[in-house]
Structure 1
Amino acid sequence: MLRVGLTGGIGAGKSEVARLFASYGAVLIDADRIAREVVEPGTPGLAAVVAEFGAGVLADDGTLDRAALARIVFADPARRETLNAIVHPLVRERSAALERAAGDGAIVVQDVPLLVEGGMMSHFDVVVVVDASPGTQLDRLVRLRGMTEEDARGRMAAQATREQRRAAADVVIDNDGPREALEARVREVWHDLERRAAAAA
């Protein structure tokens, strides 16, 4: 098994790279999706979040009001750390179970937005960073995701710097250009991962 950690700044295009890897045959473990699952209604994770942050983070239907929670944690690094201390262990536990189920010969790609921030580089055989310029990130967040510029800049500032991510990378996928260039680069990286997996078998 080859363990690949995939990360990148918000708006860099990491999700698209993850989708391409999965289409080539990777076993994809999406930390964001798992993070949503572990705080669904009725879970110990949601109970712990509500106990810490109050019922104001619940929507009328009993689900987590992500926007309300985001307003709290993105404005206060200490509160964000508290949230991470609740959610991250639950995500790691579920991710490990999915990885064990993947099988010996698999290339397991874990899509982890906060891989660098969490100092998780040593958990993986290869760290792949999807990189884009801050201008590109900002444009995508405002134009494609409908964020205000202020909100987008706040989200970007809450993450590791571009330099920190690139320094942690074994492989960098630049994503400032057209989609065709991204697909060609991801295919190239995938062949490299296949070679590494074969060498490790």
Structure 2
Amino acid sequence: MTKKLVIVESPAKAKTIEKFLGRDFEVRASMGHIMDLPKKGLGVNTRKDFAPQYEVIEKKDKLINDLKAASKRADEVILAPDPDREGEFIAWSLKQTLGLQNPHRAVFNEITKKAVQDAVKKPREINEDLFNAQQARRVLDRLVGYKISPLLWRRIQSGTSAGRVQSVALRLICDREVEIRAFIPEEYWSITATLSKQIYLHALKI
């Protein structure tokens, strides 16, 4: 009997979700990401809108072939990676790598029977905004890391690194440290006076 194929990220989740969905569903796991920028080289075309040049992650070929075979047996494919921008990228990667024409995207925020069943009943398309957000993050990580880190090795110390987040955070810390060191303490006094007018007392602090 033809089943609906659901692809999640984690094999542990796959077993639980398959129990929730029943016999009409086959649940497989992508084991996380299946595509990424190459380990060697920049992997970003800086002359063509900073287009990322993805490739299949090493040692994922057998997994992809198994998922392709499972998708061909199914009458419907539902992509259900995690509900964040990384999950959206994994869903897009699965669509591209497996050659899926019209896959559905199911999103759930908790692994409960009701949440999973509701998500499968009301799937959506891949969210292009989330997908693009992930691409922007990944490309920036690669550009900053690959372009600036070698400069730090030459000018400061081998093994140091730059990053999209860590470099900005370090700048904020350094700026604050400069302010702290430049601070000149000044002596000050607090004066408290008790004033009275007839029977009313007023406290004044300066």
Higher relative contact order (CA 8 A, sep 6+): 1
- Which has the larger share of strand? 2
Q: What TM-score, normalized to structure 1?
A: 0.32
Larger Rg: 2
- Which has the larger share of helix? 1
Q: What TM-score, normalized to structure 2?
A: 0.31
